Amino acid sequence: MDTLSKTNSYTATVDVPVTATQAQQAVSQVSKWWAVNFHGSAENKGDKFSVAFGDTFVNFQVSEHIPGQKTVWYVTDCNLHWLEDKLEWKDTKVEWLFQPNGSATRIIMTHIGITPQVECYEDCRKGWNEYVLTSLPAFIKTGKGQPN
């Protein structure tokens, strides 16, 4: 896990009109903006949760949590049923940074280990773009995201 590089890993950046603490709290409400089929908790260091989309599932553990600044989700297990390597996300990390930006907060999400060289990159990029750049900001601004 520590050998993963952020270089070339998928990254999305979005500004939202709330405090960093509020943005971080919104990200932890995974079922409101990403996956309706969500079990567990994503709020504090050590929390474990899973998301599922049909035959696909991903299990996470919150490996880092600095209030109002940073959250890291570590992938402990997965089944990406449509890929040749169904464990492609295992041992990757999803890093969320929350940075004040004027009267807004900049959210920088990086899926460390998902690079253009891996099989799922294009599909994962499209999915993350939809959820991080569209559904999450909608949830933050209106209280209603578009989780799948």
Taking only the tens place, the pLDDT of each residue in 93-111 is: 999 999 999 999 999 999 9
Q: Does residue 113 sit in helix, strand or coil?
A: coil
What's the pTM? 0.94
* CB-CB contact of 89 with 77 (8 Å): no
Superfamily (CATH H level) for 10-142: START domain (3.30.530.20)
CA distance 13 to 2: 23
pLDDT digits (tens, 9 = 90+) for 3-56: 577 889 999 999 999 999 999 999 999 999 999 999 999 999 999 999 999 999
How confident is the model at residue 3, as a pLDDT? 57
Q: Does residue 105 sit in helix, strand or coil?
A: strand
